[in-house]
A = this chain, B = another copy of it.
Amino acid sequence: MSFDRLIKKIVDTQNPTVAGLDPKLDFIPQYIIDECFAEYGETLEGAAQALYQFNVGLIDALCDIVPAVKPQCAYYEMYGWQGMRALKDTIDYAKGKGMFVITDGKRNDIGTTMEAYAAAHLGSIKVGSNQFEPFGGDALTVNGYLGSDGINPLLPICQENDKGIFVLVKTSNKSSGELQDCLCPDKTVYSLMAEYCENWGKENSGEYGYSGVGAVVGATYPEQLTELRETASHTMFLVPGYGAQGGGAADVAGAFDKNGLGAIINSSRAIMCAYKKGDYTEKDFAKAARDEAIRMRDEIVSYIGKIRL
């Protein structure tokens, strides 16, 4: 259990970014929607097919230059179990193309219930004499509000399957401070959570200095990113909030260590919807996504330089 597989992919591609796959219908080119509705009707099945076709186009365009994708569960659940099937198919497709898959579910519970989430998203499940991977991502985002009872059930499943988790620490939204910035009593809730991440990861250290227990820290809080990079030095960061939410490359520079490791920066809408800007047509959505992914990579790498193991 560690993020070594992800780190190696980041070094291979020299690209510390992840493309968010949040495919609501509003983001999908109309011609894809029309094709899927023609075949499956204006149904949840039709919508789910459009999600999947859009993702396939994006993954094909990105898989040789971007190390990872991050499907956001909410946008699949929104289309019912049919949408969840599109999530599973998307994860399979991305893995088939060699990408590392971070399932963004922010799941949380305790004991055997958390074990069930772990099996669902990172492990496998026995049915009679057969074994299935229900969703099969490489990492899962989780919420640590419930304490160790909510995290410990994940660790053996991560260990067995060489997978990781990212725990919410300091999220990118404006109101994140309502709870996360509270002093309790001499440190903030987010720095306490980061300490827990260091502890939870202790038994699961990786070859490159980072454990399998990462943290979500928003690009919109550059000071906290820099502070946490110092204090949580074995914790890999997943950084949302770049682009659409206002974080820039300078803001995320502090998330990286001196080798350019330790963080992966997410962009969702700016990549998915790149075709809506500039001179692209709908049919160019994949090329537009690739162009934006390259622009983002180059911008971030200009701050951190060559990424080294």
* Chain A residues close to B by CB (< 8 Å): 22, 24-25, 37, 42-44, 46-47, 72, 74-75, 77-85, 87-88, 106-114, 116-117, 119-121, 125, 127-130, 132, 134-135, 143-150, 168, 171-180, 182-185, 189, 192-193, 196
Contacts and interface: CB of A to CB of B under 8 A. Distances in A.
A149 B173 contact: yes
8 contacts: A42-B128, A108-B108, A108-B143, A146-B168, A182-B185, A183-B184, A184-B184, A189-B189
Contacts of A79: 125, 127, 134
Given A178-B147, A178-B196, A180-B147, A173 B111 contact: yes
Given A44-B132, A80-B84, A184-B185, 4 more contacts: A72-B109, A81-B85, A146-B179, A149-B175
Nearest to A77: B120
A146 B173 contact: yes
Contacts of A107: 74, 106
A241 to B, nearest CB: 10
A35 B139 CA distance: 35
A178 B113 CA distance: 19
A81 to B, nearest CB: 4
A37 B98 CA distance: 34
A116 B84 CA distance: 13
A85 B80 CA distance: 8
Nearest to A172: B110
A83 B109 CA distance: 18
A182 B171 contact: no
Given A179-B192, A179-B193, A78 B146 contact: no
A129 B46 CA distance: 12
Contact of A171 (B47, B81, B83, B110): B110
B185 A74 contact: no
Contacts of A168: 108, 145-146
B147 A75 contact: no
B130 A149 contact: no
B173 A78 contact: no
Given A146-B173, A173-B110, A81 B81 contact: yes
Contact of A145 (B87, B125, B143, B172): B143
B134 A74 contact: no
Contacts of A42: 127-130
Top 3 A-B pairs ranked by shortest CB distance? A42-B128, A147-B178, A147-B175
A58 B149 CA distance: 29
A171 B184 contact: no
Contact of A81 (B88, B111, B129, B148): B88
Given A46-B128, A108-B143, A80 B180 contact: no
Q: Which of A88, A146, A171 has the most chain B CB atoms inside 10 A of its CB? A: A146
B130 A43 contact: yes
A278 to B, nearest CB: 23
Contacts of A47: 125, 127
